[in-house]
Chain A
Amino acid sequence: MKPSHRAPTLALLPAGLITFVCFYLFIAWTFAISLTSSQLLPSWDFVGLLQYERLFASARWWTAMGNMALYGILFITGCLAVGYLLAILIDRGVRAEGVYRTIFMLPLSMSFVVTGIIWQWMLNPGLGIQQAVRGLGWEEFAFNWLVRADRSIYTVVLAGIWQQSGLCMALFLAGLRGVDPNIWKAAKVDGIPIWRVYASIITPMLRPVFFTAAILLFSLVVKSFDLVVALTGGGPGFSSDLPARFVMEHILNRQELGLGAAGACMMLATIAAVVGPYLYAEIRQKKGG
């Protein structure tokens, strides 16, 4: 090795070690454990795919996966839509733009736990919005999703969109600001209505931003744990459970390490299936261009 390369190599040692051990070796470890009968503590009694069979036979797991799909689709679409709309509104050139931007991104600075508790309070059927609206005269008004097993996951969607729309707004705003102003001039000269310019010209141009934002939100969805813990506690029953919570509970509280590890590997597989092609395309594009 060249002498001038010695120090940088040495400096990369800790990060390299962490990457290798704490990322990849740990993934391998978890996968290996998912093939064992481990309960409270890891044991190396291999049982093949038994834990996966148990996992796939568990109604609770499928509820969690179904919730993740529903939550993912609604949350990502919602955030993208709201974020894009807010970004467009701000980009139309308003005064005090900084104030609006600051407000829209404010929830981002708060933890999921805080968000969960705030919305738990808002959605509390006895004292929250439902009760307040009834107090205004609509006696029949019902907004009790938090305590309805068939609706509780939507409260997670609502709180999630409230918190993360600002992220999308920031990304889209940066994208909109990067659009060549001459495009607007050209569209004006051609007499194209503003909504048409957004729909037919600007939105297609921002496709990479949509992708980036969606991928970012998607990885949030799979990791979602704190929000659901603080907001619904996975309930009522397990009706708003998510895979991340399922895994945490089986690993830490239920002494089902093997089953939890199998769930974790499925989470990773889900992420890999979506993010993998994206990263691959990204890297190929970089090499080509």
Chain B
Amino acid sequence: MQRVHLQGIAKSFGATKVLEQIDLTIEPGEFLVLLGPSGCGKSTLLNIVAGLEQPTGGRIHFGDRDVTDLEPDQRDIAMVFQSYALYPTMSVRRNMGFALKMQGLSTAEIAAKVADVAKLLQIEHLLDRKPAQLSGGQQQRVAIGRALVREPQVFLLDEPLSNLDAKLRADMRVELKRLHERGRRTTLYVTHDQVEAMTFASRIVVMDKGRVQQCDRPEVVYAKPANRFVAGFVGAPTMNFLEGELALLSDGPALRLKENLLPLPGLWASRGLQVGQKVVLGLRPEHIGLAAADDVGTCPGHVVMTEPTGPDLYVRIRLAGQEVTSRMSPGQAPSPGQKVALELDGKAASLFDVADGQRLN
């Protein structure tokens, strides 16, 4: 297994900077997910790692090997494309064996390897078909198979599941995860779908505007987003943001929103945060809940609308003049128009700088 090390990678097309100064290390056997909105540069970065595009600055190392100037086929990688990019005129068998044929392997060797992978992916019965005769899910499997056959040091996937329907996507997520756990190949996976990112990643790299915004384990990215962009991009429904001043009540910290004071029990305000400082408070929907009747330190809300999704219920609530979303279980559901007492989970709250959006706590 290889360590992939990106050092100061930059890419620009003319005056347009697509990537700026990307430093990243993918540990051997790691499943690293590049997550970001479209146009954030994640696919360009993947193409650069693959060798399909040349960076305008920086170096790429696979282990000790500097691969920056190597052609894709000399890098010992394999790649799965969003469009699958199966060769339409070749059978599944030839599709899977093509790279090996280009490497000059004997027919017998190729046949054996293709058979192994086909068995692993349960596509043996499809080997003699043409891609056009396969369903989307089958094409996806073949595309993955074509990559696996090469036994690459580094496995690159570019939004491989986004052309599948919801159910197949869920199945393939599980399957991909299982495959990775079996092979433990160093994997770089590009997606704009945060569920995929959460499912697979040993670490998630959130990108925006050609820069790495945060690189950490999924649960950290979710719980402690490094800035407002990450906070807003990861998590659905999105995090609630309230802009106000920090305040201190007798029983703990709070946020002053105009004339309202919202208690935030448990908020761990450290390092240079001062009472009266302007901040943006970030609270995930599950961290806004109904208060028990006898609780102290609650804040009054006004239910605007409810949005049932099955297991959960999202409730739009007017709180201190702003609308926030709260996640509740269907049993708790208040009805629109109702006045409710809310409890904000200060322990889980994030605080961001008003000006640059960086995390403060």
Contacts and interface: CB of A to CB of B under 8 A. Distances in A.
Interface of A: 2-4
Interface of B: 54, 71
Contacts of B71: 3-4
A127 B71 CA distance: 74
Contacts, number: 3
A7 to B, nearest CB: 12
Contacts of A3: 71
A264 to B, nearest CB: 43
Nearest to B52: A4
A3 B73 CA distance: 13
Nearest to B72: A4
Contacts of B54: 2
Contacts of A2: 54
A4 B54 CA distance: 11
Nearest to A4: B71
Contacts of A4: 71
List the 3 closest pairs (A to B, CB-CB), nearest first. A4-B71, A3-B71, A2-B54
3 contacts: A2-B54, A3-B71, A4-B71
A5 to B, nearest CB: 11
A4 B71 CA distance: 8
Nearest to B70: A3
Nearest to B69: A3
B50 to A, nearest CB: 13
Nearest to A2: B54
A4 B51 CA distance: 11
A142 B89 CA distance: 62
Nearest to B54: A2
A248 B246 CA distance: 93
A219 to B, nearest CB: 36
Nearest to B51: A4
A2 B52 CA distance: 12
A274 to B, nearest CB: 36
B54 to A, nearest CB: 7
A137 B71 CA distance: 83
A3 B71 CA distance: 8
A4 B69 CA distance: 11
